[in-house]
């Protein structure tokens, strides 16, 4: 995507930003690490954050947000609230384990992970498979407020769900185009990066605000501590609200599948596949909108080259093939799902996928999937439109992605008419 034009802000937010233009947002809403840590400790009365592998990325993240992100006042308020909550999550998780060490004995049995390029059908597939009762998905509210651990008897009536819903739907009120891109709410299934964001080794925050220094650090960071923390959280969430198998999803896993299998050796991984030219243009537009929600900084594609440029995306996709060919990931535990199949005939696509993965789709689950499809029309919240580049761009990109598309039989969605 060569260009992105910021839309008009909602009147209420534009007025807040304008009224506060002569104030000092950094002094009013501090984002420095020590202030945030002290606030979380004071609010909870706790001091144990667990292992120290979170501290370096937390320091880099807060410094990057403070110095680079150019957050407007409301953006700083949103961000500070999220960071304090993440710190409180760490404190409360450690306290819960201290009081109940038996949580460690919980078993994460054969979880199913969905991954793939952003905007390649991971969310659609996640929603469809989550209709099957054999799967448990982490809801957005329990990802935000996991302690005290949810209990089966009160799970559907827990008041934390409404608090999370109000905070998450605020995104669409601050940036109305977001509503056409991604459904938000307290009961929407949470992506993995949101569940383990309190490890501070997650691309969830740099996807919401332009934090270049942190994004650069994260690109080469060891993700094992994050996934180990994830396992710790999943055990806590299923302790008093059992799940047979976890159904989990994040495009980010595509970048560190060997580490994922190291931490979850019996995992089953589904990789969604879509024309990368189409998917890449869509993710660029989505991130630009998220940044604009909180920041006045002009959107800069180059800061997120590994995620967005065709060369960076091609490198990630080719690395997946290399991992499979070299045996660095177990090919028998990886299955493919084509975006085109999900869109054209989602019911049949799910049935076929179950056979590939070795899962059983019983009549009850099949009917639940069929009902979900019938009651969720496409473009429920509007149409997400974006630019895919010039004819010359398309021709060059198609050559970059040919190995990947040939390997997984991914059809072209964008066609260049040369000459």
Q: What is the pLDDT of residue 77?
A: 97
For 142-186, what is each residue's pLDDT tens digit?
Answer: 999 999 999 999 999 999 999 999 999 999 999 999 988 888 999
**pLDDT (average), residues 107-113:** 97
pLDDT tier for residue 362 given thresholds of 50, 70 and 90:
very high
CA pair distance 26, 104, nearest whole angstrom = 40
Give 248's strand partners.
113
**CA neighbours within 13 Å on the CB side: how many for 218?**
30
In the predicted structure, residue 357 carries a pLDDT above the cut 50: yes
Instruction: Give the domain ranges of the chain.
Output: 11-15+110-408
- How many residues are given for the chain? 419
**Lowest mean pLDDT across 39-43, 228-232, 267-271, 278-282:** 278-282
- 389: phi > 0 → left, psi -120 to 50 → alpha, else beta; which? left
Q: What is the pLDDT of residue 389?
A: 61
How far does Cα 309 stand from its chain's mean position?
19
In the predicted structure, residue 2 carries a pLDDT above the cut 80: no
CB 245 within 8 A of CB 114: no
Q: What is the pLDDT of residue 286?
A: 82
In terms of CATH architecture, what is 11-15+110-408? 3-Layer(aba) Sandwich (3.40)
How far does Cα 410 stand from its chain's mean position?
23
pLDDT tier for residue 288 given thresholds of 50, 70 and 90:
confident
For 8-33, what is each residue's pLDDT tens digit?
Answer: 999 999 999 999 999 999 999 999 99
Mean pLDDT computed over every residue of the chain: 91
The two three-digit tokens of residue 248, written as one number: 């989990």
CA pair distance 270, 352, nearest whole angstrom = 12
SS3 77: helix
In the predicted structure, residue 386 carries a pLDDT above the cut 60: no
Alpha helices in 108-187 (DSSP H): 122-129, 140-144, 160-174
List all residues 6 or more positions away from 376 whose beta carbon is below 8 Å from its beta carbon.
Answer: 127
The two three-digit tokens of residue 380, written as one number: 């429920």
In the predicted structure, residue 55 carries a pLDDT above the cut 90: yes
Highest mean pLDDT among 17-21, 187-191, 224-228, 396-400: 224-228
pLDDT tier for residue 305 given thresholds of 50, 70 and 90:
very low
In the predicted structure, residue 3 carries a pLDDT above the cut 90: no
Q: What is the pLDDT of residue 388?
A: 54
CB 340 within 8 A of CB 412: no
Through-space distance between the first and last CA atoms of the chain, rounded to whole angstroms: 22
**pLDDT (average), residues 201-211:** 93
pLDDT tier for residue 129 given thresholds of 50, 70 and 90:
very high
For residue 126, count other CB atoms closer than 10 A to its CB. 22
CA pair distance 116, 269, nearest whole angstrom = 10
CA pair distance 394, 418, nearest whole angstrom = 10
Q: What is the pLDDT of residue 334?
A: 97
CB 100 within 8 A of CB 239: yes
Q: Spell out the long-range contacts of 168-177 with Cβ–Cβ below 8 A and sequence spacing 24 or more.
A: 168/140, 170/78, 171/290, 171/293, 173/10, 174/10, 174/13, 174/74, 174/78, 174/293, 174/294, 175/289, 175/290, 175/292, 175/293, 176/7, 176/10, 177/7, 177/289
The residue whose two tokens read 């793939």 is: 116
CB contact burial 186-200 (16+ within 10 A = b; e otherwise): bbbbbbbbbbbbbbb
In the predicted structure, residue 301 carries a pLDDT above the cut 80: no
**pLDDT (average), residues 113-139:** 93
CA pair distance 199, 86, nearest whole angstrom = 9
In the predicted structure, residue 1 carries a pLDDT above the cut 70: no
Q: What is the pLDDT of residue 63?
A: 97
Choice between 187 and 377, residue whose per-residue pLDDT is larger: 187
SS3 334: strand
Q: What is the pLDDT of residue 181?
A: 82
Share of the chain above pLDDT 70, in %: 92
Q: What is the DSSP letter of 133?
A: T
Q: What is the pLDDT of residue 417?
A: 54
From the list 379, 342, 347, the residue with the least C-alpha distance to 132 is 347
The torsion of the CA quartet 376, 381, 387, 388, rounded to 10 degrees, works out to: -20
Torsions phi, psi for 245 (to 5 deg)? -135, 135
């Amino acid at each position: 995507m060569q260009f992105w034009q910021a839309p008009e802000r909602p009147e209420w937010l534009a007025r807040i930003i304008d009224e506060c233009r002569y104030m000092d947002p950094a002094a009013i809403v501090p984002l420095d690490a020590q202030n945030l840590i002290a606030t979380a400790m004071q609010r909870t009365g706790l001091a144990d954050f667990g292992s120290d592998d979170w501290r370096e990325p937390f320091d880099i993240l807060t410094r990057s947000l403070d110095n680079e992100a150019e957050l407007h006042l409301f953006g700083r308020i949103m961000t500070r609230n999220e960071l304090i909550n993440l710190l409180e999550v760490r404190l409360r998780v450690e306290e819960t384990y201290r009081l109940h060490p038996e949580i460690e004995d919980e078993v994460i049995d054969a979880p199913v992970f969905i991954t793939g390029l952003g905007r390649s059908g991971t969310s659609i597939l996640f929603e469809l498979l989550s209709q099957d009762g054999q799967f448990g998905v982490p809801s957005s509210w329990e990802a935000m407020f996991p302690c005290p651990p949810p209990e089966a008897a009160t799970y559907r009536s827990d008041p934390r769900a409404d608090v999370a819903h109000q905070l998450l739907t605020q995104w669409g009120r601050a940036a109305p185009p977001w509503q056409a891109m991604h459904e938000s709410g307290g009961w929407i299934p949470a992506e993995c990066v949101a569940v383990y964001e309190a490890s501070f080794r997650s691309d969830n925050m740099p996807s919401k605000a332009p934090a270049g220094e942190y994004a650069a650090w994260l690109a080469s960071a060891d993700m094992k501590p994050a996934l180990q923390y994830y396992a710790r959280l999943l055990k806590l969430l299923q302790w008093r609200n059992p799940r047979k198998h976890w159904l989990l999803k994040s495009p980010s896993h595509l970048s560190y599948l060997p580490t994922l299998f190291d931490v979850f050796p019996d995992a089953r991984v589904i990789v969604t596949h879509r024309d990368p030219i189409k998917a890449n243009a869509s993710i660029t537009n989505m991130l630009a909108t998220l940044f604009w929600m909180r920041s006045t900084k002009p959107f800069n594609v180059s800061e997120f080259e590994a995620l967005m440029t065709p060369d960076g995306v091609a490198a990630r996709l080719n690395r997946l093939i290399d991992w499979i060919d070299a045996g660095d990931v177990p090919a028998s535990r990886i299955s493919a799902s084509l975006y085109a199949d999900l869109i054209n005939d989602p019911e049949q696509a799910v049935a076929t996928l179950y056979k590939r993965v070795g899962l059983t789709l019983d009549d009850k689950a099949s009917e639940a999937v069929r009902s979900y499809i019938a009651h969720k029309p496409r473009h429920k919240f509007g149409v997400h439109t974006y630019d895919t580049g010039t004819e010359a761009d398309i021709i060059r990109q198609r050559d970059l992605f040919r190995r990947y598309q040939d390997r997984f039989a991914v059809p072209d969605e964008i066609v260049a008419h040369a000459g």
